[in-house]
Amino acid sequence: MPEWSVAEARKLTFDTPVTALHVRIVNGTVNVVGTDESSARLEVSELEGPPLVVTQKNGTLTVAYEDLPWKGFLKWLDRKGWRRSAVVSLAVPASTRIEVGVVGAAAVVSGTDERVEVKGVTGDTTLVRVSGPVRVDTVSGNLEAQAVTGDLRFHSVSGDLTVVEGSGSSVRAESVSGSMIVDLDATGAPTDVQLSNVSGEIAIRLPHPADAEVEANTASGTVSSAFEDLRVGGQWGAKKITGRLGAGNGKLKAMTVSGSIALLRRPPAEEEAPSDGPVGSSARGPADGPTGAAPTDKKVL
């Protein structure tokens, strides 16, 4: 099994095919880009602390520390081991299955077609043009996803979720206090979104026309809706939004205990102005919606 110990800035090229990538680092940055090539390239541009061990076996390329296993990753709390940092960039075939574990490091994955799984403690994750299924588990790291077309799963304690130009099959997210902003643009496709939160705010912008059965509930927060076909009501502290949009083939469920919930409507595509801003740069919060412009016809309770 080929193995390299990387103790300083270095570049490596792997001639044999790569079908899976495993990366685990502490502090710094991981950048993974999908390409049309069958081989993979690695560049470690910055490195502090112990060396990274690089191995290649049965099509799996691994870049990690010896003392940082994938199993139990989110419980790895060796503070002395945190005194390290690495900036790692990889170009891999777009069909590569990807597992990334980051403790205090940022992770960026773009242009891939296969499954992506990210585990993070405090580092943020950015996904761009990923078409395979995605699962992200974090403690306090944020997730920003743009043009992700595969099923998206997100679990966090306090990390925020921002989805821009989402057109995937489904979005499932759970958090305790992180905010959730989901902007969907899959016009004509059934919506499949299920979001659960305790105290974080939730904002969902749906395409026009939308197709979903809607059920949104909060125990003590506020709710607002830009859709005349939906009912906004409730009594005492509890509020809810219910009803059907289009044929009701899809499903939209949102639930919070004390956070607010806003359902916004995306204008028809021809009315939208092009935007060249960075991922999530236009997301401001449930009050303003993902584009910062609150609809004039929304109902608030």
Q: What is the CA radius of gyration of the chain?
A: 21
Residues 92-149: tens digit of each pLDDT? 999 999 999 998 899 999 999 999 999 988 889 999 999 999 999 999 999 999 999 9
Look at residue 199 and tell me whether its pLDDT is greater than 90: yes
- pTM reported for the whole predicted model: 0.84
Average pLDDT of the residues in 240-260: 93
With a pLDDT cut of 90, the percent of the chain lying above it is 64
Q: Where are the domains positioned within the chain?
A: 1-122, 142-301
Confidence of residue 226 (pLDDT cuts 50, 70, 90): very high
pLDDT attached to residue 78: 60
pLDDT attached to residue 168: 67
Confidence of residue 33 (pLDDT cuts 50, 70, 90): very high
Q: How far is CA 24 from CA 28, 107, 121, 193, 230, in A?
A: 11, 10, 12, 30, 45
Q: Locate 273 and state its tokens.
A: 């102005």
**Residue 74 phi, psi (nearest 5):** -70, -10
Confidence of residue 236 (pLDDT cuts 50, 70, 90): confident
Look at residue 291 and tell me whether its pLDDT is greater than 80: no
